[in-house]
Structure 1
Amino acid sequence: MNFKNQIEFLKELQKNNSKEWMDANRKWYKQVRDEYIFWLNSMNIRLSAIDDEYYDTPGKKGINRINNNLMFHPNKPVYKDHFGAGFDKKPKTADFYFELGIERCIFAGGLWRPESKVLRSVRDAIDYDGEDFVKILNKKSFKTRFGGLFEDAKLTNAPKGFAKDHKYIELLKNKTFAVFHEFDTKETIKSNFDDELVSAYKEMLPFRRYLNKAITV
């Protein structure tokens, strides 16, 4: 898909980030949103064909709202500067996320600051078979595409119930277990972009499956 229309819309939206402008351009917004959903639907079908455990996520369920949540973030603009969507969005699991922005795009996935019960389950899994998780993180192709875990807030000391000299103490201190790959929006106009998304999905799959097994077993 050529995302030129979506990018042009986002650029104009950021110049005029207001409900008044959005209302005046509602027809354009619906057009770019429908085009984006159509593409999400096609990718949803393609991903479901390569992953037996894939959770069917049609475009309308996967796409994120373009409005910012001003109740919790009153200083943010009214509207976001990107179109975001999740694939394989089984409730309360680690999904796969794609973000189309004006200058940058993102492939991401994992668990972003999960609730304490979920976080404990991930830590227990690492305590039990952390070597399997480390192998996933250290795989050459995985590191090349995603680097390491997303650098987010970490505990200063060992989590409750874990020794401070635990073999995987630095992993256990994490509050977020997610990875991402950022790239220039220009990459999306290449003819093989859909293949790149599929490739990123496959590369991240063992990582997400490890987390999902930890929180569902």
Structure 2
Amino acid sequence: MDFKNLIEFLKALNSNNSKEWMDANRKWYKEVRTDFVKWLDHMNIILADLDDEYYDTPGKKGINRINNNLMFHPNKPVYKDHFGAGLDKRPLTGDFYIEIGVERCIMAGGFWRPDSSTLKSIRDAIDYDGEVFEKIITQKSFKNVFGGLYEDAKLIKAPKGFSNSHEHIQLLRNKTFAVAHEFSTNEVFSADFEEKIINVYKEMLPFRRYLNKAVTVA
């Protein structure tokens, strides 16, 4: 994968963010996108070999649109400043997200502001055996890679049905259950970038498995 070409394309797009520019550079875009999809196909195979529960996600299925949704966010640029994709994308579960962009390159996973039903399932799981989840997210290796849970808005008080004195109240107040690891552009260009992705994926597995079990087991 020629990540330098991908970043150069994104920089040019970011400086000329318009349909006219994209139309004039459609060949370059298709070249970069095709290369990225092939790389995703490669990572799809690599990750499947690491995880017996991995959900096959070909690059074309995992890649996100580069267009911003202007219907709901009319003030955003026409195009994103990154290529993003979800792998291990089993329906109704948290996938493993990869984003290669101009400003940041991240690997993330879990649930970002899930719907009320999914959020309730996660909270019910924490209520049942939150000590298991606590053990996962307080592991030294986990903290070294992710720092902790992704910081997002939280409830001020306990969610409905739970007490403010609950032993896991700090977790239950979360609206988002996700983690992220950021890479520098130099790391993306490095020869061991694939190895770094594998390490992040493996470190995230117990976290994602706990959450996925919470939302899929009745």
Contact 1:57 1:89 in 2 (8 A): yes
1:4 alignment partner, SS class = helix
Q: How do 1:158-173 and structure 2 match up within 5 A?
A: 158-173=158-173
Quote the residue 2:109 is aligned against: 109
Question: Which amino acid in structure 2 is aligned with residue 78 of structure 1?
Answer: V
Quote the residue 1:137 is aligned against: 137
Quote the residue 2:69 is aligned against: 69
TM-superposed deviation, 1:2: 3.0
Gap runs ≥5 in structure 1: none
Quote the residue 1:3 is aligned against: 3
Report how many aligned residue pairs link the two structures. Answer: 217
Tell me how far apart the structure 2 counterparts of residues 216 and 125 of structure 1 sit (CA, whole Å).
Answer: 11
Quote the residue 1:156 is aligned against: 156
Quote the residue 1:209 is aligned against: 209
Contact 2:109 2:178 in 1 (8 A): yes
1:96 aligns to 2:91 (yes or no): no
Tell me how far apart the structure 2 counterparts of residues 2 and 22 of structure 1 sit (CA, whole Å).
Answer: 20
1:26 aligns to 2:26 (yes or no): yes
Tell me how far apart the structure 2 counterparts of residues 144 and 213 of structure 1 sit (CA, whole Å).
Answer: 24
TM-superposed deviation, 1:189: 1.1
Tell me how far apart the structure 1 counterparts of residues 49 and 20 of structure 2 sit (CA, whole Å).
Answer: 42
Question: Which amino acid in structure 2 is aligned with residue 176 of structure 1?
Answer: T
CA-based RMSD of the aligned residues comes to: 0.7
Contact 1:103 1:184 in 2 (8 A): no
Deviation sequence 1:54-95 (CA, Å, 0-9, x none): 000000011111000111111100000000111100111011
Deviation sequence 1:168-191 (CA, Å, 0-9, x none): 101000000000011211111111
Question: Which amino acid in structure 1 is aligned with residue 199 of structure 2?
Answer: S
Contact 2:2 2:35 in 1 (8 A): no
Gap runs ≥5 in structure 2: none
Contact 2:3 2:189 in 1 (8 A): yes
Question: Which amino acid in structure 1 is aligned with residue 107 of structure 2?
Answer: F
1:49 alignment partner, SS class = helix
Tell me how far apart the structure 2 counterparts of residues 78 and 152 of structure 1 sit (CA, whole Å).
Answer: 26
Q: TM-score, normalised by structure 2?
A: 0.98
Q: TM-score, normalised by structure 1?
A: 0.99
Deviation sequence 1:87-142 (CA, Å, 0-9, x none): 10011101111110114210100001111011000000000000000000001111
1:46 aligns to 2:46 (yes or no): yes
Deviation sequence 1:181-214 (CA, Å, 0-9, x none): 1121111111111111111000000000000000
Question: Which amino acid in structure 1 is aligned with residue 207 of structure 2?
Answer: F
Question: Which amino acid in structure 2 is aligned with residue 35 of structure 1?
Answer: D
Question: Which amino acid in structure 2 is aligned with residue 33 of structure 1?
Answer: R
Quote the residue 1:193 is aligned against: 193
2:50 alignment partner, SS class = coil
Q: What's the % identity of the aligned pairs?
A: 71
Question: Which amino acid in structure 1 is aligned with residue 183 of structure 2?
Answer: F
Contact 1:146 1:181 in 2 (8 A): yes
Quote the residue 1:174 is aligned against: 174
Tell me how far apart the structure 2 counterparts of residues 153 and 62 of structure 1 sit (CA, whole Å).
Answer: 27
